[in-house]
Copies of this chain bind each other. A is one copy, B any other.
Amino acid sequence: MNIGKAAKLSNLTVKAVRYYANIGLVKPQQNIFSGYREYTSEEVAKLKFIGKARKFDFSINECKELLSLYEDKNRTSKEVKKITLEKITQIDSKLKDLRDLRNELSFLASNCNGDDRPNCPILEELSKN
């Protein structure tokens, strides 16, 4: 099938699917005469796989890793779990940063009258030495 259908079936944009072909993530055959990419249903399955992994915040490189593990019938679940746990650690770190940030901003905002006067503790904090 052509790229449009493959994109639709995998819930990705044509642009993204073409991008994955260009970087060698999912490389379909290309019709010699028309130049059109021709996707098999197995390739569509890989695209779906990638789409889901991307939603799980895995980077393209991590998707590449996961995909090769997925294709390797001899891989152990240990390898996959390791990548997943690393990802969870990353997310925890991001969560902490965002929570801290939110607390500070929220503290500043709650101390700001938000009225028509110029007095503003938020800017004061930002301009502190």
What residues make up the interface of A, taking CB atoms closer than 8 Å to B?
45, 48-49, 52-53, 56-57, 66, 69-70, 73-78, 80-82, 84-85, 87-88, 91-92, 94-95, 98-99, 101-102, 104-106, 108-109, 112-123, 125-129
Contact = CB atoms under 8 A, between A and B. Distances in A.
Contacts of A123: 66, 69-70, 80
Given A116-B76, A117-B76, A98 B101 contact: no
Copies in the complex: 2
A81 B80 CA distance: 45
Contact of A95 (B99, B120, B122, B126): B99
A109 B94 contact: no
Contacts of A85: 109
A57 B94 CA distance: 12
Contacts of A122: 77, 80-81, 84
A6 B98 CA distance: 29
A80 B112 contact: yes
